[in-house]
Amino acid sequence: MTSITAFSAGAYSTSRQTADLLALKEQVNTLTRQLSSGRVAETYAELGVRRSESLSARGMLSALDGYDAAISSVRPRVELASASLGRISKMTTTLRNGLTTNRSDADANRAMARDSLNGAIDALNQQLGGQYLFGGREVTQAPVLSGIILLNGDTSDPVKPLAGVKTLVNEQIRADLGTGLGRLTLSTPSSTSIEVREDADASARANLGFSISAQPTSSGSFATISYAASPPEGATLSFAKPPAADDHFRVVVNQAGGGQKTYDLTGADLADVSSAANAASSLKALIGNDKIASVQSASPPGLSASFANTTAPASFTINVVAQPANGDQIRITLGLRDGTTTALTLYARTNADPMSRTDFVIGATPAETAQNLSNTLGRSLKQAAETSLAASSTIRATQDFFAGSNVAGLAPRRIDFTGAVPAYASTSSETTVIWYRGETSPTDPRTSFAVRTGATSTVGIGARANEEAIRTILSGFAAVAVGSAASAFTQAADRWKALAERSASLLPQEEPLKAISTEFGIASSSLSEAQARNKAARGIVQSQVDGIESVSSQEIAVKLLDVQNRLQTSYQVTAMLLKLSLVNYLR
């Protein structure tokens, strides 16, 4: 017979039911917390398998914040550097206009040039946040010395005074002019002939004074002119020791088309430095067909150049074979070391100022005419030497000064007057002002200060005051500032006119700083573009983080209501079961 076992409320197994109730209660607590905080979890551990994804995304957000902070911090640097370049450009334009439209006012232009030089130095010594902008990686000291020291030298150490621009200019003019005719000699081999000859020393011909670059011409048939060209002679190179990879040296060559070119090299540029002889051969091969004019280095490696003096100097001879007609002329073209030329035109006159530099009197005989021509030619050569050549010397000296560097072997070129003929010293001088005190490096100046704008992108915003375009402008300012004083032979106005014409070439209409300014403009645009990219990336990554860490209030509210309903139902069912008995069951 089947019987019903008596039911006791205490016999009911409640373990599973209790666990379910606790789980539902925990869900309610979790959903309530999520609803109030808006976050999925309070710790990364609670995110479960998505915690690494969240950490990675937050790392990206932190990096983007860092990039934007870096961009914001350097924007003033870019703006200040651009403003400094703009200031220098404006001063360049003002001085150039003064040299072209108000050329006769030498004093005003010299004063303007000094002010421009000082203004440019102030602009190049700008600093931001205690860091100088135009010193490359050297940001702790002003990159450019004062204008007074640059022009006049530094005598703060009486034991070792340092020469400035004025000293270098005076030395260059002295060496170029020689005895006054630009290192040319004027003689009269016969009563009816005049000869002009270049310097007998090959080193002087390669570096100093005038060159006779072409055959003179004459109108009419009163004179015959013979011309003896001189093939350019280059120096022979030698090293005292094989140069090390970081040994610096400077080589100046005369180019076939005229003018000189300077190479600043290191031992690393040479193909073979296994011996001093091989290093010299490698250097000659690197230079090519251009003729070596002068060299400079520290010791070691002790680079030197010697001339064999195997070629005769160029010369021309004017033979007066008949009396010229009034207005007949002779035209002579002389070369300068910067690749330009100057022309002398002498006119035959029935009457002329006996001290004229352009006209010669037709004498009673060809011999007398030849003597008058010789006298006028001498005065004309002296005038050209003290104007065109002296102006060229001034420009060369200022360029040499600003090409100087604190790198061993690359100080400004100096002229040695101890020998029979002046020559550029092959050993780098230690008695010259080094105008630039910032970083000296062959690398791109922009890379000297780079800001990271993204995971794989940087923008270079560095600058150095010794960049070529800036040096060119400073050379122009300095050349005009030192000016050209009058001599016993030449009026100051004539010397100034020649200098003004040549100095204006260093301050060309096409802005020398345009390329640098453009690079800073590109850098500014790159920073803006990087910020825009970072903003877009931040939006994407932030959405990813929100998807992992954040919750929807509406969704959580629905889930919470559902769980609460389930929990309430469970409570009710449990309560009913706890009250269950045979009597209640049978009911």
Q: Is residue 36 part of a domain?
A: no
Question: SS3 of 269, please?
Answer: helix
CA gap 561, 553 in Å, rounded:
12
List the helix and strand counts (H, then E) for the chain: 14, 20
Quick one: DSSP state of residue 385? I
CA 326-327-328 angle, 5° bins = 95
Query: For residue 287, what are the domain limits?
Result: 236-306
Nearest-10 Cα torsion for 583, 584, 585, 586 = 50
**Which residues are within 8 A (CB) of 358 and not within 5 positions of it... i.e. 6 or more apart?**
345, 346, 347, 376, 380
CB 235 within 8 A of CB 205: no
pTM of the model: 0.86
CA gap 375, 2 in Å, rounded:
158
Q: Is residue 544 part of a domain?
A: no
Q: Is residue 411 part of a domain?
A: no
CA gap 407, 136 in Å, rounded:
15
Q: Name which of 154, 156, 153, 132 is nearest 438 in CA terms.
A: 132
Residue position matching structure tokens 């911090």: 73
- pLDDT for 75 equals 96
End-to-end CA distance of the chain: 23
Residue position matching structure tokens 């007066």: 320
Q: Is residue 401 part of a domain?
A: no
Q: Is residue 292 part of a domain?
A: yes
If one counts the domains in the chain, the total is 1
Q: Is residue 289 part of a domain?
A: yes
Residues in the chain: 587
Q: Is residue 112 part of a domain?
A: no
pLDDT tens, the chain, 587 aa long:
555 555 445 444 556 656 766 666 666 666 566 555 656 665 656 566 677 777 777 788 889 999 999 999 999 999 999 999 999 999 999 999 998 888 778 888 999 999 999 999 999 999 999 999 999 999 999 999 999 999 999 999 999 999 999 999 999 999 999 999 999 999 999 999 999 999 999 999 999 999 998 999 999 899 999 999 998 899 999 999 999 999 999 999 999 888 999 999 999 999 999 999 999 999 999 999 999 999 999 999 999 999 999 999 999 999 999 999 999 999 999 999 988 999 999 999 999 999 999 999 999 999 999 999 999 999 999 999 999 999 999 999 999 999 999 999 999 999 999 999 999 999 999 999 999 999 999 999 999 999 999 999 999 999 999 999 999 999 999 999 998 665 656 677 888 888 988 888 778 776 778 899 999 999 999 999 999 999 998 889 877 776 665 555 566 565 656 666 666 666 666 666 666 665 565 55
Q: Name which of 253, 251, 252, 238 is nearest 301 in CA terms.
A: 238
Considering only the C-alpha atoms of the chain, give the largest distance between any 2 of them, rounded to a whole number of Å.
174
Question: SS3 of 118, please?
Answer: helix
Q: Is residue 581 part of a domain?
A: no
- pLDDT for 12 equals 47
